[in-house]
Structure 1
Amino acid sequence: MSEEETKKRGARSEGNNKDINDWLPITSSRNAKWYYSAFHNVTAMVGAGVLGLPYAMSQLGWGPGAVVLILSWIITLYTLWQMVEMHEMIPGKRLDRYHELGQAAFGEKVGLWIVVPQQLIVEVGSNIVYMVTGGTCLQKVYNTACPSCRPLKLTYFIAIFSSTQFILCHCPNFNAITCVSFVAAIMSLGYSLIGWGASVHKGITPDVDYSPRASTSIGRMFGFFAALGEVAFAYAGHSVVLEIQATMPSTPERPSKIPMWRGVILAYIIVLVCYFPVAFLGYAAFGNTVADNILISLQKPRWLICMANAGVVIHVIGSYQIFAMGVFDMLESYLVKQRNFTPSTSLRCIVRTTYVALTMFLGMTFPFFHGLLSFFGGFAFAPITYFLPCIIWLKIYKPKRYGLSWFTNWICIILGVLLTILAPIGGLRHIILRATSYKFYS
């Protein structure tokens, strides 16, 4: 083959890749504003996780609970900053996906196998939990608004919730769901304010008990482990942060990290406003009797509880789409680039509809809300969020040994590994205990 033919073939290949990237959901639109980052990050983080924080506090106790929450906020903000910085660490190239960052650090094949399985567990796991959360809160609205109505199975409410996802899943890219994400972010603020505001209004009852939730030392230990996973689940946005940054324009004079970081700061301020009051005030009001979803513990006034649960439903509609968009990109990339499928609307329709149906089925089959938070929070969220960015940072930038950066990253890695080992144990135990008395599709 002549040199000219080689150049032509290379140019054709490059052109084809550009056409495919212009079709894929992550890279098809790069005109996002800085506040899009804030919407998407708030929608990705604040959701099912915040509702379980008072329950986590009841297993951790005041002192350990406060330490875990504060450390998690600081560590995850630091690792998120690292990812934003590493997005364009290679001159002239953007690392638009988490697995591309992994490949830059560990090599083409190894990086893919390190990141993709964990990222898929995080995103698919989140979508399953959001199916359960959406259905549970819809059921709560129904039961609260009409206590004399005929009780309906949770399965029906999950099916109702999933109907919105069957429609929204056909939005082509991140920027197409910006309005959904904005409404979801507003809802997260709303129901968080209702959650801790109603707790303050209820007040601390005379018989409130802050002693350990479990009666045995073994139970307290497993509860502590599970609570760590619940806190980890509350900081779930890292699995899609590079994908969100990929939607922003970038020039040498104004790289994408500038507007992205501006949005992240706003998002983390909102997270601070939502998480800490809900966790502390919810636990203060109910003590060790708080439910695994704080809104379930709140019974009055009925209209306010209906509003809060409706807000959660609207929020997780957006959250589901944020995490699903990353999965859609992986599936469509694989089918088009590896299996040579033609990029088309019909392919996108089949892939996305099948995925929503699968998460709906799994949510109906395994609706163990609290156990799912703990298990997924430790097993997959901790590596993706707490220490994998630190490992990549050490490998690429090679900071001075025993310097501040070196120590900071190793502390995050050690804490993250402990979280990954301990949290799934507590979550799995809870799932097993619930499964022994559970009737499928009840």
Structure 2
Amino acid sequence: MARVGGGDVEIGGLPAPAGDPRRRVVAADDSLDDDGKPRRTGTVWTASAHVITAVIGSGVLSLPWSVAQLGWVAGPVTLLLFAIITYYTSVLLGDCYRSEDAVTGKRNYTYMEAVGSLLGKGQVWFCGLCQYVNLIGTAIGYTITASISAAALYKANCFHSKGHSADCGVYTTMYMVVFGISQIVFSQLPNLHEMAWLSILAAVMSFSYATIGVGLSLAQTITGPTGKTTIGGTQIGVDVTSAQKIWLTLQALGNIAFAYSYSMVLIEIQDTVKAPPAENKTMRKANLMGVSTTTAFYMLCGCLGYSAFGNDAPGNMLTGFGFYEPYWLIDFANVCIVVHLVGAYQVYCQPIYAAVESWAAGRWPDSEFVVRQYHPFSGKFSLNMFRLVWRTAFVIVSTVLAISLPFFNDILGLLGALGFWPLTVYFPVEMYISQSKMKKYSGKWVALQTLSFACFAVTVAVTVASIQGITQSLKNYVPFKTKL
């Protein structure tokens, strides 16, 4: 059922696609934007919150381990290098939110729309494969990570109440189920426009646990004991073998590179921003604020964590401080991680939800199950039966996969490796070249293609290292028996 209201035709609660004969826009309606969609209200601050929520994941706690593999020189340099690359390509991608002209051109509501508009339909399927496989993988990985932090919360309290010699091991399955139930509830928020408060809360949580990690690292660096650090990181023949050094270095490089990646949701974030000013200008400020803030925390966590633990830095810096004292501070940090991941999960899943629901609305425009909106609480919040069923099913499936594949973080590393080059570098570079009508073999064209090739080489190397890591994980894999 197509509904006409206030100057726009909605299909399933979503505006009809551009060019659809059922679409009509009346500029006089102040509740609608220039394209007939509900008026965008996002600002630099809300966009920055979305960016920070998407970028700073619990992976920040693994940065001391990454720096330990690279050492005092290569570690910080790699962090800065990928911060610069991420910001630059994000600016290029932000300019592609509108086709032809970055200020007045036709809006592209999703990453795939931007690719289709600027590079043609031939590359849309490749983009969609990379984007949605990464988004789905991230949802599963966040379920696993949140359950580990929740289990660590139980473990710390168990040790505190029963003594350090008590058996406080706990299976993570129950915590994954609880996390999944919470996501079923939050997934009913219609879109990113309705989620600014959740992203702001999640961003505050990410700052909180990162700050706790930095504070504990600084305290241990000052008071001791500290681990041994070196210019080149872990030492061959002392900490690792020659082969291990190569694999671990590549994995560390991948962890740092992909810790910055949020391009797969950038266009969707930009589509929440109001205009004027031009969306690409607002997004440029949000990108700078988000990436610079993230880099500051990454540098602090990575370098101070390495200073505290040395070449024996753990995969999770919070667990490296033990489950004992100050147990209440570790508890608070883990609570912050779980709350942050609740918001981050939604930021990454909303593009998946929107894609399926837009397709369904176009496929069955007269189905009340698909298009009818209910207002059970007499407010702005609406309930749609298709959205309820489909999003609940998605969360259930992703939770079951997380329970079945608890080493999925290794697989997620592989998915990230395969997605980093096309989503963060290749498509933004190619779309920018097409939009700006850049002359082939000009100086800037050569520079951009060189950047793209270098990142492609990194992706290939990290992919190989990720496959090696998965092979090692499979050797000790026992289904449904993961215990912290």
Is 1:103 aligned to 2:128, yes or no?
Answer: no
Q: Could you tell me which residue of structure 2 aligns to residue 5 of structure 1?
A: none
Following the alignment from structure 2 to structure 1, what is the Cα–Cα distance between the partners of residues 316 and 356?
32
Q: Counterpart of 2:87 in structure 1: which amino acid?
A: L
**Is 1:49–1:233's contact at 8 Å kept on the other side of the alignment?**
no
3-state SS in 1 of match to 2:42: coil
Instruction: Give identity over the alignment, percent.
Output: 26
| Alpha carbons of structure 1 residues 319 and 227: separation in structure 2 relative to 1, 3 Å | same
Q: Could you tell me which residue of structure 2 aligns to residue 330 of structure 1?
A: 355
Q: Cα RMSD (Å) of the superposition? A: 2.5
Which of 47, 53, 57 is residue 63 of structure 2 equivalent to? 53
Following the alignment from structure 1 to structure 2, what is the Cα–Cα distance between the partners of residues 207 and 65?
17
Q: Could you tell me which residue of structure 1 aligns to residue 416 of structure 2?
A: 377
Q: Counterpart of 1:295 in structure 2: which amino acid?
A: L
Shift of 1:325: 0.3
Following the alignment from structure 1 to structure 2, what is the Cα–Cα distance between the partners of residues 207 and 80?
37
| Alpha carbons of structure 1 residues 406 and 155: separation in structure 2 relative to 1, 3 Å | same
1:75-97 Cα deviation digits (max 9, x unpaired): 00000111111212434410111
1:29-49 Cα deviation digits (max 9, x unpaired): 522222110110000000133
Q: Could you tell me which residue of structure 1 aligns to residue 96 of structure 2?
A: 86
3-state SS in 1 of match to 2:20: helix
Shift of 1:403: 4.8
Which runs of no fewer than 5 residues in structure 1 stay unpaired? 1-9
Deviates more, 1:430-439 or 1:133-142: 430-439
| Alpha carbons of structure 1 residues 284 and 395: separation in structure 2 relative to 1, 3 Å | same
Q: Could you tell me which residue of structure 2 aligns to residue 6 of structure 1?
A: none
3-state SS in 2 of match to 1:153: coil
Is 1:67 aligned to 2:77, yes or no?
Answer: yes
**Is 1:388–1:413's contact at 8 Å kept on the other side of the alignment?**
no
Which of 2, 16, 20 is residue 13 of structure 1 equivalent to? 20
3-state SS in 2 of match to 1:86: coil
Following the alignment from structure 1 to structure 2, what is the Cα–Cα distance between the partners of residues 197 and 382?
34
1:114-146 Cα deviation digits (max 9, x unpaired): 211111022111111111110010011110122
Following the alignment from structure 2 to structure 1, what is the Cα–Cα distance between the partners of residues 185 and 144?
18
Q: Could you tell me which residue of structure 2 aligns to residue 219 of structure 1?
A: 244
Q: Could you tell me which residue of structure 2 aligns to residue 129 of structure 1?
A: 141
Following the alignment from structure 1 to structure 2, what is the Cα–Cα distance between the partners of residues 55 and 267?
23
**Is 1:371–1:427's contact at 8 Å kept on the other side of the alignment?**
yes
Q: Could you tell me which residue of structure 2 aligns to residue 363 of structure 1?
A: 402
Aligned residue pair count: 425
Q: Counterpart of 1:144 in structure 2: which amino acid?
A: A
Is 1:424 aligned to 2:467, yes or no?
Answer: no
Q: Could you tell me which residue of structure 2 aligns to residue 205 of structure 1?
A: 225
Shift of 1:370: 5.0
Following the alignment from structure 1 to structure 2, what is the Cα–Cα distance between the partners of residues 290 and 378?
23
Q: Counterpart of 2:42 in structure 1: which amino acid?
A: A
Is 1:156 aligned to 2:174, yes or no?
Answer: yes
Which runs of no fewer than 5 residues in structure 2 stay unpaired? 1-16, 26-31, 373-383
Is 1:406 aligned to 2:424, yes or no?
Answer: no
**Is 1:195–1:278's contact at 8 Å kept on the other side of the alignment?**
yes
Shift of 1:311: 0.7
Following the alignment from structure 2 to structure 1, what is the Cα–Cα distance between the partners of residues 89 and 19?
38
Is 1:261 aligned to 2:284, yes or no?
Answer: yes
| Alpha carbons of structure 1 residues 212 and 394: separation in structure 2 relative to 1, 3 Å | farther
Report matched runs for 1:233-382 at 5 Å. 233-251=258-276, 254-299=277-322, 300-338=325-363, 342-344=370-372, 345-368=384-407, 371-382=410-421
3-state SS in 2 of match to 1:61: helix
| Alpha carbons of structure 1 residues 16 and 206: separation in structure 2 relative to 1, 3 Å | closer
Q: Counterpart of 1:343 in structure 2: which amino acid?
A: V
